[in-house]
Structure 1
Amino acid sequence: MHLFRVSIFLTLTVMALSCRPDAKQGGGDMAVADTYLTDELSIQHGMELFNRHCASCHNFTANEIGPNLSGVTSEVSKDWLVDYIHDPKAKIDGGDPRAVAHFERYRLYMPGFPQIQGKDMDHLLGFIHKFSEAEKRNTSNRKGGLINPIPEPIPESGLVLDLEEWFTAPPTSPNPLLARINKLDRTGTRLFLADQRGLLYEITWDSVKTYLDIREWMPEFIDAPGFGSGLGNFAFHPEFASNGLFYTTHTEKAGSAPADFALPDSVPARLQWVLTEWESRSPGSDVFSGRKREILRADMVSQIHGFQELTFNPLSKPGNSDYGLLYLGIGDGGAGLGGYPQLCDNPSQIWGSVLCLDPSGTNSANGRYGIPKDNPYAGTAEGLGEVWASGFRNPHRITWDAETGHMFISNIGQHSVEEVNLGLKGADYGWPNREGTFLFDVQANSELVYPVPESGSRYTDPVIQYDHDEGNAVSGGYAYRGEALPLLRGYYVFGDIPRGTVFMSPLTEMEKGQPAPVFRVALESEGRELSLSEISLDARVDLRFAQDAQGELLLFTKNNGKVYRVVGCRDKTL
């Protein structure tokens, strides 16, 4: 759709609001509300269409070349919008009062666009509806929201990864998702895979075998209502082969037991996350037997953004200050936009932070773990001793670069910016006051970000970011230093969870306070260049990254339970 034509269409559409402010315009049964698509992939495509054709003239917070679109879909019926887009001249010649009024003002016919049909129309209107409704919640009356905060498109790298299907995880439900596989990790040369429905598998070259079914040990275990609940994560102690220790996180119903980190009395808890230590009697066994003990338990405002990542620094050696220390990434639990932003960006609370714990220590409040003396708030009144870094919405994955030692923390954004951060002790990454390098305002339009005021800031900016016309939720990856794919060496390889897009960013250009460039990476399977959505036969891919026992790159897709080896990388420009 031509930019000028779309601008006139939206201008005429929005001005229809003035005709009858007491009722929705456009006819139809007013008792039946219009319905619009709300799923993330449809909204993203609608955003792409809007940014391509409309954004230079319209936004949702102020009048520009055209009027702002706040509230338009609740004041003008969907049928009227569709009819007008398809044939505005017919509306005018037929005497429609709104169309006639606009024609008299502008003295021109807007060309019709009957070719805008089906999904394109639904996606565009779904995007406009979501953003216009969100603007009604802009109680701070903040202006200048950015629909497309990073307008430059991500360029192609020219590289193509060759994927080879390795195995499919066993189904744990007869309904999609058949297997909710969420993390694949290694200890020594052994590989393990977690299904959020409560199963921890060991993977060999020819089998997928259950190592632990935590449902048999946790009577209060729940994996519903989804949204990340269930068996969240696992991590093996660096000395697992000798001490048999590993750790898991899982969800239980609210009130299952007293929480070590309870919400304030005025804040209802939706569920609890639990961190557990397991000790195997025989670490070399292919089936767990031994004991467990609870380390800590926390209440959550909602079912989203819980205990996300659980890991040890694989580069740390005996004698290093963080050897044997457990890093736990905790999301905001939905508190940021759930009415409790005070629980976030606050080192005196655990929500929205990365914790660093000594599972062998006892100096915590509950006596079941230790607080490392090198933690930034240990022994101070400025924050919780457990908190290592703060200001995250959803710190989904943490990995390290074997060459530089840099720690990378991927942080899933709200509706504008996805980011990867350098993990720095004591750093504050800003949520819910920042999203990427942009300002976020919980009292404004939650679908938008805003320019950051030109003043000093205590917040640490990401080293990688992309916005939501490129993807929806970042899938944290790895700094590739392997041998099998020399063209990838020196790049951080990551992607987008729903879309399945793979990206790479040069490690040499990642410096504090300066986002590095990002490039797209193509994929192929059996000699054909395909997207992961085509390979997995689903629009929503649910992409994750892993490494095999040799440190080579693996991809897996939660939507179909398949794990892929990356067996080659070529430059298609040569």
Structure 2
Amino acid sequence: MTRLRWCLLATLALLGALLAAPAADARVRDDAPILDPIPDDPAPSGLGLVLKEVAQLPKSEPSAPPTDPRLKRWNRINHVGEVPDRSGRLYVPDLNGNLYLLDGKTRTPRVYLDVKGAFPDFYSAAGLGQGFGFVAFHPDFKRNGKFYTAHVESGEALKTRTPDLTPQPKTAYHGVIDEWTADDPRAGTFSGTHRELLRIGFSGRVHNLQQIDFNPNARPGSADYGKLYLSVGDGGNGNVGDNGGDPQNLGVPQGKILRIDPAGRDSANGRYGVPKDNPFAGQAGRVGEIYAYGMRDPHRFSWDTGGSRRLFLAHIGEHEIESIHEVKAGDNIGWSEREGAFTFRKDDRCHLYPLPADDAKHGYDYPVAAYDHDPPADWDCKSDTGHAISGGYVYRGSALQALRGKYLFTDIVDGRLLYTEESEMKRDPAGRHRAQIYALSAYDTSGRPVTMKQLAGDERVDLRYGSDAAGEPYLLAKANGKIWKVVGTKSVAGCRPGPDRISHATGAAAWAPVTPSKWRFPGKEVVLAEKGEQRPGPRRPFEYAVLKKGPELASARIDAEVRLDTPVAQKDRDVIVVFGYRDDTHFYYAHLSTDNSVYPHNGIFVVNGADRLRIDQQWNANRSHGAPPSITDASWHRVRVTHCAGTGEIAVYVDGASRPVMTALDGTFGSGRVGFGSFDNIGRLRDLTVRGTPAN
């Protein structure tokens, strides 16, 4: 989402217009830029992936020294899949030119084909997607030895070769699809023949050919069996300039998903077939190869191999929206008239706008899930915000039951692991409904929490998913050229709290309040009856009581019911649950508040001899909001706080939800006591049970 930087004159003019023309209020609001296109951030899932490193592929270099630092990677591997011959071999394309096969048992990589060496005009020196972009093995590769590659050419190819479909003006690069036929499909290195199928001209150095693939659900004899799908970008400037509007132009291939028959010969160049069941096949002035259109950078697509067997597309946005679409024949994603489910205006490079009242007439295919960029306040509206989506597929494997039915995807740049529930990914012509996106954690095989940035050794991860024939997931990163297999799942803060159990602790003798006169102990409740007052020292909760009963605990799980007694009309009402308490200036606390719009509210904090520091993973500093408000009424609410001393994991659950509202990772305090209180509000606690491992 974009941080708006309204100038004073513009703000005054808008206010003046609103005051002077009340009848036009709705029109002005509908035409105003949207400050926060998608307010909801990915929510914590409470689930993590256990990752095992299985390979590191060799270093590689672009076809010429790049000037863009984003191309200076260990290598540029961008996918992993399994060769469809039951050998167990994995294949990995490297944009810099090599196709690798990984041994079915040892996962040792070996160059199967040097794509770069096969084409003298091969180009990978500029543009994030240029080079050897993808490979797709024919589903009958074991018998026919056929597979297909997508690569980019420049230089002399621009003078000696002619694109087959309408090229963009000022063509500077060719995207090329080739068919290869191996003499022996079982061989460890390629030997055989190849032929060119299709060549497309692009003016820009980004958004060229992306994924190419076959529908895994198609069976021999079905209409879709052996049909090759190609995701074709808009060339980098499909919204402005000479090729502005190309994604909406059915007379050109750019900004589309194409579908061709490699075994056919009725195309214009006679090298492949145009399936007659394509939505625009045989229509004058329209490219018959088009399957769906209106795309900027259709980065990755996949078919659900179970459930609905739908086709999903992960679509990289311009400057705001990363989206997932369900794609059917003839669908129009909307670019560059739309970015996600918002109006894109070519005269405003910083903002998106609401959909017009008559939007339904266009029939755009809006996202079934999406997130936005949340750039920092000083973003210049032109530079890379450091976000881009990469799918991803619906997990239908058998080894990881916790992932069943989840569409797994990543953010390429920052390395976040994300998912949505396939069952919640529903088309909405109005663009209002989107499935909730959830964040996954990561662990190494010892159970230690890690991030993909740590595993990749770089702030820019360049992360993507792949899978084997059984549908089991792999992750790979260009930053260090490594591949990890997902070998298990793990609950966040899922440690066993320990053998000790503390309960029936509501009497005054069990508690040590900061200010005893402010507390009441009527029997089955612990009541903070008077609001606290700020005390000298670091900024921390004003009033709380520490549980004296039982030992100090290392790992601990706190279960209780809490209620806020401060009137609901007051926005900043809160109670806190204390844990890891060492003394008055050294402890953790979970802040449960009605407000989530400021730094000190509704989060997980540590006080370590200084002002409280927010440590939860849900705080969005660029948009100044945290997890959804935890308590908004005057009712009792069940709260669970889990602290795993060994890993530093913390999770907070409210009202028995299966997913936490807040999570954190911090190793400051490995043991301490628990407590209850507030800053300057009143509330109460009951039904307290603490389970834990005694310290030392």
Q: TM-score range by the shorter chain?
A: 0.7 to 0.9
Within 2, Cα distance between the matches of 1:59 and 1:157? 36
Distance 1:377 1:60, change over 3 A: farther
- Of 339, 352, 366, the residue aligned with 1:461 is 366
Partner of 1:32: none
| Structure 1 position 198 matched with structure 2 position 97 | yes
Q: Which residue of 2 aligns with 1:286?
A: 188
Residues 145, 529 of structure 1: alpha-carbon distance in 2 compared, 3 angstrom cutoff: same
Contact conserved, 2:166 with 2:252, CA < 8 A, in 1? no
Partner of 1:501: 416
Taking the aligned partners of 1:249 and 1:499, their CA distance within structure 2 comes to: 26
Q: Which residue of 2 aligns with 1:567?
A: 487
Q: Which amino acid aligns with 1:503?
A: L
Task: From 321, 329, 346, give the equivalent of 2:223.
Answer: 321
With normalisation by structure 1, the TM-score equals 0.74
Per-residue deviation, 1:382: 5.8
Instruction: Give 2:77's aligned residue.
Output: 181
Partner of 1:41: none
Q: Deviations over 1:178-216 (max 9, x none)?
A: 211112122223310011111000012321001000223
Instruction: Indicate the residue corresponding to 1:376 in structure 2.
Output: 279
Q: Deviations over 1:100-151 (max 9, x none)?
A: xxxxxxxxxxxxxxxxxxxxxxxxxxxxxxxxxxxxxxxxxx9622242111
Instruction: Provide the C-alpha distance between the structure 2 equivalents of 1:429 and 1:143, rounded to a whole number of angstroms.
Output: 22
Matched with 2:40 is 152
Question: Partner of 1:521 in structure 2?
Answer: 440
Determine the C-alpha separation between the residues in 1 that align with 2:244 and 2:450.
Answer: 42
Q: Aligned to 1:426, what secondary structure does the other structure show? A: coil
Distance 1:242 1:521, change over 3 A: same
Larger helix proportion of the pair: 1
304-313 vs 446-455, which deviates more? 446-455
Distance 1:217 1:563 in 2: 26
Instruction: Name the counterpart of 2:466.
Output: 546
Displacement of 1:62 in angstroms is: 7.7
Matched, 1:366 2:269: yes
How far 1:363 moved relative to its partner?
A: 0.5
Please give the residue correspondences for 1:446-457 in structure 2 after superposition, counting only pairs within 5 Å. Answer: 446-455=349-358, 456=360, 457=362
Q: Does 1:273 align with 2:175?
A: yes
The answer to whether the 8 A contact 2:414-2:453 is kept is yes
Deviation at 1:342, TM superposition (A): 2.7
Task: Give how far 1:345 is off.
Answer: 1.4
Cα contact 1:430–1:460 (8 A) shared by 2: yes
Give the match for residue 111 of structure 1.
Answer: none
Residue 161 of structure 1 pairs with residue 60 of structure 2: no
Aligned equivalent of 2:337, options 406, 428, 433:
433
Asked if structure 1 preserves the Cα contact closer than 8 Å seen for 2:112 and 2:188, the reply is yes
Matching of residue 308 in structure 1 with residue 196 in structure 2: no
**Structure 1: runs of 5 or more not aligned:** 1-43, 69-141
Output one character per residue of 1:33-74: Cα deviation in whole Å (capped at 9) or x when no partner.
xxxxxxxxxxx9xx6xx5xxxx5xx54798348999xxxxxx
Task: Give the whole-Å Cα distance in 1 for the aligned partners of 2:49 and 2:74.
Answer: 26
Q: Which has the higher strand share?
A: 2
Aligned equivalents of 1:154, 1:550: Cα separation in 2 = 28
Query: What is aligned with 2:130?
Result: 229
Distance 1:225 1:475 in 2: 20
1:478 Cα deviation after fit: 1.1
Shifted more, 420-429 versus 342-351: the winner is: 342-351
Q: Greater relative contact order: 1 or 2 (C-alpha under 8 angstroms, separation 6 or more)?
A: 1
- State the secondary structure of the residue aligned to 1:222: coil
Distance in 2 (CA, whole Å) between partners of 1:385 and 1:485 is 41
Aligned with 1:259 (options 153, 163, 166): 163
Q: Classify the secondary structure of the residue corresponding to 1:63.
A: helix
Q: 1:400–1:406: 8 Å Cα contact kept in structure 2? A: yes
Residues 239 and 245 in structure 2, CA contact (< 8 A), matched pair in contact too: no
Aligned residue for 1:489?
A: 404
AA matched with 2:363: R
| Displacement after TM superposition at 1:157 (Å) | 0.7
The 2-side partners of 1:535 and 1:276 are apart by 35
Deviations 1:346-399 (A, max 9, x none): 222100000000001011000000000100011122621100000010111111
Aligned-residue CA RMSD (Å): 2.2
Judge conservation of contact 2:313–2:324 (CA < 8 Å) in 1.
Answer: yes
The amino acid that maps onto 1:524 is: Y
Mapped pair 1:172 → 2:91: no
Equivalent position to 1:219, from 120, 126, 140:
120
Q: In the alignment, is the contact (CA less than 8 A) between 1:190 and 1:549 conserved in 2?
A: no
Q: Which structure has the greater CA radius of gyration? A: 2
Letter aligned with residue 315 of structure 1:
N
Partners of 1:67 and 1:501 lie apart in 2 by 38
TM-score computed with the length of structure 2 as normaliser: 0.61
CA distance in 2, matches of 1:260, 1:488: 43
Q: Distance in 2 between matches of 1:60 and 1:156?
A: 36
- State whether residues 249 and 275 of structure 1, in contact with CA within 8 Å, keep that contact through their aligned partners in structure 2: yes
1:411 equivalent in alignment to 2:315: yes
Distance, in Å, in 1 between the alignment partners of 2:275 and 2:261 is 6
The amino acid across from 2:121 in the alignment is E
What SS is found at the alignment partner of 1:569? strand
Correspondence for 1:89: none
1:8 corresponds to: none
Give 2:109's aligned amino acid. Answer: V
Deviation at 1:453, TM superposition (A): 1.1
Q: Cα gap change, 1:520/1:243 in structure 2, threshold over 3 Å: closer, same or farther? A: same
Cα distance, 1:502 vs structure 2: 0.8
Residue 302 of structure 1 aligns to a residue whose secondary structure is coil
SS at the partner of 2:74?
A: coil
What CA distance in whole angstroms lies between the structure 2 residues aligned with 1:546 and 1:62? 51
Query: In 2, are the aligned partners of 1:255 and 1:271 still within 8 Å (CA)?
Result: no
Please report how far the alpha carbon of residue 510 of structure 1 lies from its aligned counterpart in structure 2 after TM superposition: 1.3
Tell me the amino acid that sits aligned with residue 401 of structure 2. Answer: P
* CA displacement at 1:549 relative to structure 2: 3.7
Distance in 2 (alpha carbons) for counterparts of 1:334 and 1:61: 34
What count of residue pairs does the alignment treat as equivalent? 445
**Secondary structure of the residue that 1:221 maps to in structure 2?**
coil
Q: Distance in 1 between matches of 2:355 and 2:481?
A: 41
- Could you tell me how far 1:256 is from its partner in structure 2? 4.4
Large movers: runs of 4+ above 3 Å: 58-68, 173-176
By how many angstroms is 1:226 displaced? 3.5
1:488 and 1:59, CA in 2 relative to 1: closer, same or farther beyond 3 A? farther
> What's 1:423 paired with?
327
